[in-house]
Amino acid sequence: MGEPTRELQFLVAEASEVVRQQLCLALVAVGVRCLPAANVEEARSVLAEQHVDAALLDMDNAEVGGEQLVDELQQRAANERVPIIAHVVRATRDSMARLMDKGLVGVLLKPFDPAQGQSKLEAIVKRLGGDSERRRHIRVRPDPGELLRLHFRIGSHKGLISGRIVDISMGGVACELHNAPNEDLLRAGMRISSLNFVLASREYQPAARVAVRRASIAAFTFLSLTPEERAHLTRYVFGHIDN
């Protein structure tokens, strides 16, 4: 398998705060960093300071100014058009044809349905950034006051192995081990049947695989997350971006 591709970053310009958060949560769940904006001025501020790989725009709200933002985005693009995802009440043939000439890659119909919308966004993101399993997940660090502990067992080692979580993403977790076993007992590629930790008052027990082991540092790739764990982790990651 090749190296992970770089993290994608999307402008999300949406007038409704609730819907804006839903859109961002759906994107974070598939490994996309979101730059939210409530109106055209906030969007311009984001664009002045950040590179964007694509933009998800509310095309119906005058304060967001979706059509205007599309034109400004394409003017900023040096060599190629910025991909546009339109969030609209109604997608007419004429309006979509006009946007197709300006970089349209997908359409989300209002009202936004989180389950269906996430599936559609994941398909769009795959087209833009490759296989989601290879795309770099957004890694966040716990708050300074959080003491996040992790523990697990391996068959060849007596007792629990425990550690402190140093960062976490939708794809896995890294920790500093307190009682690190010999590297031949815990090595890259090894499967862990249950990785146990508590995150924001919720207990997780996913199966995992050791991705990296260097002295007391170990990184694990999640092999399984329940739908409830995935939804909860998405909110945690979204709430800790840029910590």
pLDDT tens-digit readout, 201-215: 899 999 999 999 999
Question: Do 149-240 and 8-129 have the same topology in CATH?
Answer: no
Beta bridge partners of 37: 13
Domain 8-129: give its CATH code: 3.40.50.2300
Domain boundaries, the chain: 8-129, 149-240
- Report the half-sphere exposure of 210 (CA within 13 A, side-chain side): 20
Identify the CATH assignment for 149-240 out of 3.30.1490.20, 3.40.50.300, 2.40.10.220, 3.40.190.10: 2.40.10.220
What does the alpha-carbon distance between residue 196 and residue 206 come to, in Å, rounded to a whole number?
7
Give, for 37, the enclosing helix (H) or strand (E). Answer: strand 32-37
Contact criterion met (CB below 8 Å) for 105 and 204: no
| pLDDT reading at 1 higher than 80 | no
| Residues 6+ away with beta carbon under 8 Å from 45 | 37
Tell me what pLDDT residue 3 has. 45
Q: Rounded to the nearest 5 degrees, what angle is found at the Cα of 170, between the Cα atoms of 181 and 88?
A: 175
Give, for 108, the enclosing helix (H) or strand (E). Answer: strand 104-109
| Summary mean pLDDT of the chain | 87
What does the alpha-carbon distance between residue 116 and residue 98 come to, in Å, rounded to a whole number?
25
Tell me what pLDDT residue 132 has. 52
- Mean local confidence (pLDDT), 224-239: 90
What does the alpha-carbon distance between residue 158 and residue 155 come to, in Å, rounded to a whole number?
8
Percent of the chain with pLDDT over 90: 52
| Residues 6+ away with beta carbon under 8 Å from 80 | none
pLDDT tens-digit readout, 4-51: 456 789 999 999 999 999 999 999 988 899 999 999 999 999 999 998
| pLDDT reading at 191 higher than 90 | yes
| Cα 202 versus chain centre, distance | 20
Tell me what pLDDT residue 243 has. 53
Tell me what pLDDT residue 138 has. 82
Judged by DSSP in three states, 155 sits in coil
Q: How far is CA 11 from CA 46, 94, 105, 159, in A?
A: 8, 24, 14, 47
What does the alpha-carbon distance between residue 192 and residue 200 come to, in Å, rounded to a whole number?
22
